[in-house]
């Protein structure tokens, strides 16, 4: 009631481009200038916004909503009841390069995995999720992802996770079920975040996090340790004053 949905008209807009072998189940709504590649498969009640692009072989489940200008690269698989907000990019190449010798260009590693999105996922505007290099990149069912999040290749995101804006997850990281990542949290590659763990705002994770733990800061440590360290940091100026007074041989710290 407070945020009424815009009306979607069933049918295919006359400016949409539909590739060979595309299959859908009515009703479907495909908006202006949308592009569907060869062999795309759509479930029931799928809504595709203006300017969205689905590469060859993309699969969408039932009741999926793609807002304007969403791009799903070839081979991407999206479950049912998924919402992809404007500008989402799924299945782009991961950052895979081999450094060259001195003076040589880095060599690109082919990215041949897929991007798979589970049921009941919602992904915010301008978020990007890379395809896998060999294995698939997977987002589990019920996970909710905010705007401007980056998820690297081969990552496995569990079920019911909450990932806030500008979080970044480097390649091959495993985020288990029910994890919360606050805004601008950063996860290094090849780490595991245990089930139910929480990473607070701007937390920088460079190693595995135990299930149920809450971590903060960089490098991330337990939240209690982080608070103690921050408290000590704010007392440093007074400690320095006291040390300087001792060096001068007086008990009175200087202003």
- 47 inside domain: yes
- 1 inside domain: no
The pLDDT, as a whole number, for residue 230 is: 79
The pLDDT, as a whole number, for residue 234 is: 80
Examine the domain organization and report whether 111 and 21 are in the same domain. yes
- 66 inside domain: yes
- 186 inside domain: yes
Question: 252: domain range?
Answer: 223-255
Task: Catalytic residue, from 13, 153, 190, 238: name it.
Answer: 153
- 70 inside domain: yes
pTM for the predicted model, two decimal places: 0.89
Examine the domain organization and report whether 237 and 217 are in the same domain. no
Examine the domain organization and report whether 47 and 124 are in the same domain. yes
Annotated catalytic residue 13:
no
Examine the domain organization and report whether 238 and 214 are in the same domain. no
Examine the domain organization and report whether 41 and 94 are in the same domain. yes
Examine the domain organization and report whether 153 and 230 are in the same domain. no
Query: How many separate domains does the chain show?
Result: 2
Examine the domain organization and report whether 206 and 102 are in the same domain. yes
Q: How many Å is the Cα radius of gyration of the chain?
A: 24
- 2 inside domain: no
Examine the domain organization and report whether 58 and 151 are in the same domain. yes
Whether the Cβ atoms of residue 94 and residue 112 lie closer than 8 Å to each other: no
- 88 inside domain: yes
- 6 inside domain: no
Examine the domain organization and report whether 179 and 231 are in the same domain. no
CATH number at residue 61: 2.160.10.10
Contacts of 133 (CB under 8 A, 6+ apart): 94, 96, 109, 110, 111, 112, 113, 153, 154, 171
Please state the three-class secondary structure of the chain as a single string: CCCCCCCCCCEECCCCEECCCCEECCCEEECCCCEECCCCEECCCEEECCCCEECCCCEECCCCEECCCCEECCCCEECCCCEECCCCEEEECCCCEECCCCCCCCEECCCCCCEEECCCCEECCCCEEECCCCCCEEECCCCEECCCCEECCCCEECCCCEECCCCEECCCCEECCCCEECCCCEECCCCEECCCCEECCCCEECCCECCCCEEECCCCEEHHHHHHHHHHHHHHHHHHHHHHHHHCCCCCCCC
Query: What distance in Å separates the CA atoms of residue 99 and residue 125, rounded to the nearest whole number?
Result: 32
Examine the domain organization and report whether 153 and 129 are in the same domain. yes
Whether the Cβ atoms of residue 133 and residue 150 lie closer than 8 Å to each other: no
pLDDT tens-digit profile, the chain (255 residues): 566 667 778 999 999 999 999 999 999 999 999 999 999 999 999 999 999 999 999 999 999 999 999 999 999 999 999 999 999 999 999 999 999 888 889 999 999 999 999 999 999 999 999 999 999 999 999 999 999 999 999 999 999 999 999 999 999 999 999 999 999 999 999 999 999 999 999 999 999 999 999 999 999 988 888 888 878 888 888 888 778 888 887 655 555
Query: What distance in Å separates the CA atoms of residue 115 and residue 214, rounded to the nearest whole number?
Result: 29
Examine the domain organization and report whether 82 and 120 are in the same domain. yes
Examine the domain organization and report whether 46 and 146 are in the same domain. yes
The pLDDT, as a whole number, for residue 210 is: 97
């Amino acid at each position: 009631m407070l945020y009424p949905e815009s009306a979607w008209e069933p049918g295919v807009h006359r400016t949409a481009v539909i590739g060979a072998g595309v299959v859908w189940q009515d009703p479907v709504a495909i908006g202006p200038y949308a592009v569907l590649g060869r062999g795309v498969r759509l479930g029931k009640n799928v809504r595709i916004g203006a300017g969205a692009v689905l590469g060859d072989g993309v699969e969408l489940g039932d009741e999926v909503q793609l807002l304007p200008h969403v791009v799903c690269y070839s081979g991407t698989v999206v479950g049912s009841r998924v919402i992809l907000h404007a500008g989402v990019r799924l299945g782009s190449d991961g950052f895979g390069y081999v450094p060259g010798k001195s003076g040589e260009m880095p060599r690109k590693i082919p990215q041949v995995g897929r991007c798979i999105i589970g049921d009941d996922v919602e992904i915010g505007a301008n978020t990007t999720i890379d395809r896998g290099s060999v294995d698939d990149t997977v987002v589990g069912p019920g996970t909710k992802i905010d705007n401007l999040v980056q998820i690297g290749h081969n990552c496995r995101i569990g079920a019911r996770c909450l990932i806030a804006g500008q979080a970044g997850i480097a390649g091959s990281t495993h985020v288990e079920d029910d994890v919360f990542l606050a805004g601008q949290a950063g996860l290094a590659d090849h780490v595991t975040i245990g089930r139910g763990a929480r990473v607070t705002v701007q937390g920088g994770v460079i190693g595995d996090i135990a299930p149920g733990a809450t971590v903060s800061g960089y490098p991330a440590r337990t939240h209690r340790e982080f608070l103690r360290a921050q408290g000590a940091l704010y007392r440093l100026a007074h400690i320095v004053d006291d040390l300087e007074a001792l060096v001068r041989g007086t008990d009175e710290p200087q202003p």
